[in-house]
Chains A and B, each alone.
Chain A
């Protein structure tokens, strides 16, 4: 019986959310709010069970009393609602922003430098021609796309305009390829949902009388 209710609720919720494809309506509105409420409740429960309980509450009760200070720092966020003490919330936010900037430095070292080093490829060599074409394509793409993203001067000279234009075309080709492959993933998600509606609901959701 429980399975039956769950399957039918899921089917109704799916159709209600899809109903916005026609137009916004009270049924969509109701299920939208149910969805948001459930999702937020679920997030709070997961936050407690996956983060706060094992990483904060249990260590604190287990003798690591200094974790109580995390509560103080977390509480400083809420001073934003007290104009007199709002400066305290800015302290926490500033630390977080500084941390984000620091992480960006690390990202430069871990992400961009290996990419740069991987572009150091020969354009003439005894290697098979297809490898050289591949190398040339990578190097031309990097140079052209970087030229497109220069902002400090107008792309007026013929050489710069041509290179930047090539960069834009190459970007669009790459985006087209990404579009195609991502659409396939989205169609797979839709197929999964439609399969649920036309197969799972009839097979599991209709009570045997």
Chain B
């Protein structure tokens, strides 16, 4: 039996070790007291505004975690939920969280309970505000639409993995005049959130959310480490574009061998047959 990891290669291993080293290095530096700066992200700054609005209007907040399972995207959404719930608890506001996954349901309850407890108001946590609707996409969407309309939510936060229901949820919030902040790495749904929400967190901003909101040194260090990783990747890109240009000029534009060489380099692993054989 071949026990080597799928897709593992020396180049991938070296690159992942380098990037992990950079991120861990920045995390340790931040925890040692060198707290880094991160720039303002307007969409994330609007989250507190949304909670404040709900408090002023005396209406609840809706936080949808999307359709994802227990993955990185949903964990990030849960981190944002933790922050929203803490601010809401501070001002004695309700946060309603409809979920579509049984595993996420229990984790969400924990996050909400912890947030209210951390703010010294455990009695404000209402277990009924975490609602399992359905794991079917449009049944979930119709349930969230119903909640938004019946509860007349003042603010909607849509964070997580979304599919075709994204516009249905955002439109329902728009119908009741809710302030809406959405964030998703689902590229095909970002345009719908941009069209229907007040603030949209796009691409990498989504993964910067927990660092930005909590200002925890560990998260901040991780975010800065990721910036450094991007610099490494951009440097590799610039070097390889120059190499490709040089190759093309010296080989009359024929790039077949160059591309094969790059492929072989990325896929090479001792003892494994070379790429393309």
Number of A-B contacts (CB under 8 A): 174
Enumerate chain B residues within 8 angstroms of A172, measured Cβ to Cβ: 194
Query: In the complex, which of the residues B109, B258, B266 contacts A113, with contact meaning CB atoms closer than 8 Å?
Result: B266
Whether B57 is near chain A, meaning CB under 8 Å from some CB there, is no
Stretch of A51-59, A118-126, A199-207 that contacts chain B: A118-126
Given contacts A124-B245, A142-B237, A175-B190, contact A149 B230 (CB under 8 A): yes
Which chain A residues in 149-195 approach chain B with CB under 8 Å? 149-155, 171-172, 175-176, 178-179, 182, 186, 189
Let me know if B164 is at the binding interface, CB within 8 A. Answer: yes
Number of A residues near B (Cβ < 8 Å) is: 63
CB distance from A103 to the nearest CB of B (A): 7
Q: Main secondary structure on chain A at its contact with chain B?
A: helix
Interface assignment of A84: CB less than 8 Å from any CB of chain B = no
Task: Please provide the chain B residues from 65 to 99 with a CB less than 8 Å away from any CB of chain A in the complex.
Answer: 70-72, 75
Secondary structure at the B interface, as helix, strand, loop or mixed, is helix
| B4 within 8 Å of A (CB atoms) | no
Q: Considering only CB atoms, which chain A residue lies closest to B149 in the complex?
A: A24
- Is A64 positioned at the interface, with any CB of B under 8 Å from its CB? no
The answer to whether A39 and B253 have CB atoms under 8 Å apart is no
When C-beta atoms are compared, the residue in chain B nearest to A176 turns out to be B191
Kindly provide the distance from the CB of B166 to the nearest chain A CB, expressed in whole angstroms: 10
Q: How far does the Cβ of A104 sit from chain B's closest Cβ, in whole Å?
A: 5
Decide: B72 and A100 in contact? CB cutoff 8 A.
yes
Complex-state Cα separation, A28 to B252, whole angstroms: 67
Contact A153 B39 (CB under 8 A): yes
With A122-B253, A155-B39 already in contact, 7 other A-B pairs whose C-beta atoms are closer than 8 Å: A28-B146, A32-B143, A36-B140, A43-B134, A126-B248, A127-B253, A178-B190
10 contacts between A and B (CB under 8 A): A35-B143, A36-B133, A109-B12, A124-B248, A149-B230, A150-B230, A171-B203, A175-B194, A182-B188, A182-B192
